[in-house]
A and B are shown apart, each in its own frame.
Chain A
Amino acid sequence: MEVPANIPPNNEEIDLSDKDSALEHIMNEYGESVVWLAFNYLKDKNKAEDVAQDVFVTCYTKLDTYKGDASLKSWILRITANKCKDILKSWSYKNITFAQNILDTFKRKEPTPEMELMGSEENNELAKNLLALPVKYREVLFLHYFEELKIHEISVLLKVKENSVKTRLRRARMLLKEMYEGSEEDGRKA
């Protein structure tokens, strides 16, 4: 898995020589971001939690390679994104997903993300719609609106051109909008 290095730095000041303290700080500060980004990719609570733990283990072991010329937050998010993409690309993951889809077909059940939503109806719907987007749209949407990263930061983190990020964001919003309009129409018909 690739460990990023060329992301603009921020003003975080952490004593990285004390690895244990640095780890505690990183987990407290970015635990939520990491687990949510992983969930955004994998749509599975347990897998997201496992990945998050792996990310922090990687951060701890690779902390020496972090030169400080990149934002720590972006460095960690990049590690998370790379780990999740590796999983999504892995043969075993695709195989399990394929098998699960077949099982769902026989059960005549809609394939749904592994999640239990406990928020308001509006927020739950937003989460479901967002996770239903293709991965390349939901990742930019998540990084821009959830993590509040700028277009340039997303472009560096995902290694895609800024224009591509802008295009993906626009299409993601359109797709999301269509989803809402579709569900409203269904509601009216009902």
Chain B
Amino acid sequence: MEERLKDLRKRMTDTKAVQFTGVHKEMVRRKLNQTEYEDQGSRKIFSLSFSALLSYAVCFLLLIGAGYFSIEQAGIFNDKTTGSNEAYQEELYYKISTSPDYLDGKPGEILDSHVKQLAAVFMQDLKNWKIIDRNARYAGFKAVLIKGSYEYPGDPVTEFASWIHPATGIPIHTELYNKDGDMINELNTESDWIKEAIRSGKKTSKKDDLSTLEHRLAYNR
């Protein structure tokens, strides 16, 4: 058998059963050129697609930015009740500070005193209090319920809660608690003329700008 298998290459190729000729080599070269061309084509298509995609993405971002800017400028989302808590806290604080302007010329000592305590003592540091319920009610009025902590040497008050009319900033009712959680004092502004001021919602003085607020706070300090 070894003898038969000797020179197997010569014997097999003699049969010419299969050959690898110049034609086949040319086919290989063509396949490679085709592959290279297809690769280049793919790269070109990818490059074009990428550029197009990048352009679309930039346009999209510009549109989003322009849209957002327009919306912001138009004030569509300026409803503060849906804004961030911090922003609403600031606005509420401002409203409380300027709420005596709704007094309509009537004696406002009670409210002034209430506001002074609340705005200047308890609420000045926004970190010391938080909004608990934006849709609360007190004495038949819409109210925002806030709660906070307070610390001052010798002062028994450690916590406070207040119901504030959201549109006017008038504090309707405030409760003060000691460290045991007992209510030790309360401030009420539920007089008829204050109810009327809340109902009318009209300011009588022009003291509602920031400079007035700063002046008021400086005075309170």
Contact = CB atoms under 8 A, between A and B. Distances in A.
B106 interface: no
A146 B20 contact: no
A31 B16 contact: no
Interface stretch (B28-36, B93-101, B170-178): B28-36
Contacts, number: 93
A35 B18 contact: yes
Given A49-B24, A146-B8, A123 B14 contact: yes
B11 interface: yes
Contact of A117 (B16, B20, B35): B16
Given A35-B18, A45-B17, A126 B31 contact: no
A32 B13 contact: yes
Nearest to A27: B25
Interface in B11-61: 11-20, 24-25, 27-28, 31-32, 35
B206 to A, nearest CB: 82
B30 to A, nearest CB: 9
Nearest to B14: A119
A148 B6 CA distance: 10
B1 interface: yes
Contacts of A105: none
A45 B9 CA distance: 17
Interface of A: 23-24, 27, 31-32, 34-36, 38-39, 45, 48-49, 52-53, 56-57, 60-61, 115-120, 122-124, 126-127, 130, 141-142, 145-148, 173, 176-177, 180
Interface of B: 1-2, 4-6, 8-9, 11-20, 24-25, 27-28, 31-32, 35
